[in-house]
Structure 1
């Protein structure tokens, strides 16, 4: 029986797509059939974006054996709904997570991305609920320390806090950052990491307080002073000085973490008109442009939303958007953006 893409079929029909004599088995939140026509996966949940899904493990041994074959068998994915199984179509394995030799999870990418109408059926999104206000913007540029504390407290209000790192001897803005982070790993970032402890550096009078996620550059600041200057070491031939001093810079770092590291979120290259529509409902953060990830990187915020807009030239912009709830990104679906990644 031919199964049309995005049609809903009964589970026995979906599993039968693996071919005659297929072995059927269940897992943790997923059901499988492995046979002469390939592997069928039926997931209940696990759809992360319009083209990516995660199959929870541990996977049954029969499925492991089929996936280990060469060439790798065809994978046909379905999403379980109350009325049946939605045919997601052919998929390819992008990651096999193993632990102690057993497959703990499987990541798949669909050949045909799901239209949003179907995505909303298999990954329902409710209303966002109350979001933290953005009154902290009114404190900038004069009081970045208080603005940082209020932003972090609001954006991460559902993340359990812990003991703050030891801050003795650090410049005051770094002490404020560590107090605001209060042990939350998310605040320290991935794309641009702030160290939990400052490190020595070969530059006289400087300490290293962070680095780019892949180690391309290190962040340096003066060891003394109430609000010292900031440099990127490794971003150019000579240390490149940031436009803002440490206090305001750490405020922008916290915003960059929210825009770049958040899920739900997305990244796209946008033209000027698209960029205006992205930031239209948002409020611009009144700080001078950050020099990373683009030469001029500006921030825009709304309740539960942070956007980073990077400009290297006047025609195209590198845009990152993070949100505290998926529904807050729904309006961006309509802008015709060519998303590099998007789970809104």
Structure 2
């Protein structure tokens, strides 16, 4: 691939664009040169989300030990331009100029910067500086067949297949309010058990609470078992559960909990199926690779149905985007659509899993592949 890229230059030539009096610095694996005219940044190639290097067609990340002297060079309105290069086997490949879109706010803590290229990288260049690795092992989608008959089993199979086991201290029974609350519904107990086996599901931005909270509201006593990361919504079940739905209680969404404008909305799915919906949604947010289309005619989705398997659940959060879930090995997808227009979002464990989507010619709002 690199043999076809004719604009490779030496490291010295790359640093020389900074002008006179170049001073060299390192931040992680990146080499940074500062001079009188500009700042030159040389990053290593590779598929390394979250560390110094090219992240996608427009985003480059710097991350490493703090370098206070670099702080003035990486401000949103820095006075000198930033030139980016990637180091390949035969030399350094110019990537273009960039602006800093984020970073540490004070010099003593300047240990990262998010750079945005003025022009997106062409596919040939992106593949050279961030080669697409072959996808690793991917989980199957056999659990979809369990959703209608055993949603708790489907939840367990999905979580155990998608998330790798981590070593951490398990949730200790009796370390929360469970004893005071009595027996939790089977679905919440199953989720607690999964959180012991796959601790990463405790760390969703919108978490299922390891300590459900007993509160009250317009509908009476309730058990809050999940909330959003900003505290503007939570989800609850009536507590204690009673009547025919006690084993599989209905779920309510609360908008602005605790405020005078609090509003409650009944979710479409009962608890066990809702927990599967919630987990799929949060797993997509937490996945390492994403892609999202612009709004397009719904008919453009037709080629996807051979590759994606629908999850038999109602649309998630119908008051908002009403996303329907689809899966493929190593990939999750949501479709928000009506008869005329649709938006599709993908999440994947491996970047290579997204690459086949390029053949459909969609217009991408973002594409990590």
Q: Do they superpose with TM above 0.5?
A: yes
The separation in 2 between residues aligned to 1:292 and 1:69, in whole angstroms, is: 38
- Using the TM superposition, give the Cα deviation of residue 139 of structure 1 relative to its aligned residue in structure 2, in angstroms: 0.9
- Using the TM superposition, give the Cα deviation of residue 23 of structure 1 relative to its aligned residue in structure 2, in angstroms: 2.1
Contact 1:22–1:34 (Cα < 8 Å) also in 2 = yes
- Using the TM superposition, give the Cα deviation of residue 74 of structure 1 relative to its aligned residue in structure 2, in angstroms: 0.9
CA displacement 1:50-77 (0-9 Å, x = unmatched): 1111112225444334346964321111
Counterpart residue number, 1:198: 212
Change (3 A) 1:161 1:24: closer
After superposition, residues 36-185 of structure 1 pair within 5 angstroms as 36-45=36-45, 46-67=53-74, 71-97=78-104, 101-157=108-164, 159-160=166-167, 162-164=169-171, 166=173, 169=182, 170-182=184-196, 184-185=198-199
Counterpart residue number, 2:344: 319
Unaligned runs of 5+ in 1: none
- Using the TM superposition, give the Cα deviation of residue 28 of structure 1 relative to its aligned residue in structure 2, in angstroms: 2.7
SS of equivalent to 1:26? strand
- Using the TM superposition, give the Cα deviation of residue 293 of structure 1 relative to its aligned residue in structure 2, in angstroms: 7.6
1:306 aligns with 2:332: yes
Change (3 A) 1:160 1:219: same
- Using the TM superposition, give the Cα deviation of residue 116 of structure 1 relative to its aligned residue in structure 2, in angstroms: 2.1
TM normalised by structure 2 equals: 0.83
- Using the TM superposition, give the Cα deviation of residue 336 of structure 1 relative to its aligned residue in structure 2, in angstroms: 3.6
Contact 1:90–1:110 (Cα < 8 Å) also in 2 = yes
Counterpart residue number, 1:275: 301
- Using the TM superposition, give the Cα deviation of residue 292 of structure 1 relative to its aligned residue in structure 2, in angstroms: 5.0
- Using the TM superposition, give the Cα deviation of residue 99 of structure 1 relative to its aligned residue in structure 2, in angstroms: 7.9
Change (3 A) 1:142 1:126: same
1:266 aligns with 2:273: no
1:231 aligns with 2:252: yes
The separation in 1 between residues aligned to 2:95 and 2:201, in whole angstroms, is: 36
The separation in 2 between residues aligned to 1:6 and 1:107, in whole angstroms, is: 27
Selected match of 2:232 from 207, 210, 216: 216
Contact 2:67–2:108 (Cα < 8 Å) also in 1 = no
Question: What is the total number of aligned residue pairs between the two structures?
Answer: 339
CA displacement 1:23-55 (0-9 Å, x = unmatched): 233343111111122110111142111111111
- Using the TM superposition, give the Cα deviation of residue 213 of structure 1 relative to its aligned residue in structure 2, in angstroms: 3.2
Contact 1:162–1:183 (Cα < 8 Å) also in 2 = no
After superposition, residues 286-305 of structure 1 pair within 5 angstroms as 286-291=312-317, 294-305=320-331
The separation in 1 between residues aligned to 2:236 and 2:153, in whole angstroms, is: 23
The separation in 1 between residues aligned to 2:225 and 2:284, in whole angstroms, is: 21
Q: What is the RMSD computed on CA atoms of the aligned residues?
A: 2.7
Contact 1:264–1:326 (Cα < 8 Å) also in 2 = yes
Q: Which structure 1 residue ranges, 4+ long, deviate > 6 Å from structure 2?
A: none
- Using the TM superposition, give the Cα deviation of residue 295 of structure 1 relative to its aligned residue in structure 2, in angstroms: 4.8
Counterpart residue number, 1:8: 8
318-327 vs 160-169, which deviates more?
A: 160-169
Contact 2:166–2:199 (Cα < 8 Å) also in 1 = no
TM normalised by structure 1 equals: 0.88
CA displacement 1:137-167 (0-9 Å, x = unmatched): 1112110111111100000025446414645
CA displacement 1:95-151 (0-9 Å, x = unmatched): 113688231111111111112221121112221133221111111211011111110
175-184 vs 160-169, which deviates more?
A: 160-169
CA displacement 1:229-265 (0-9 Å, x = unmatched): 0111118974111111000111111111222321111
- Using the TM superposition, give the Cα deviation of residue 317 of structure 1 relative to its aligned residue in structure 2, in angstroms: 2.7
Contact 1:258–1:323 (Cα < 8 Å) also in 2 = no
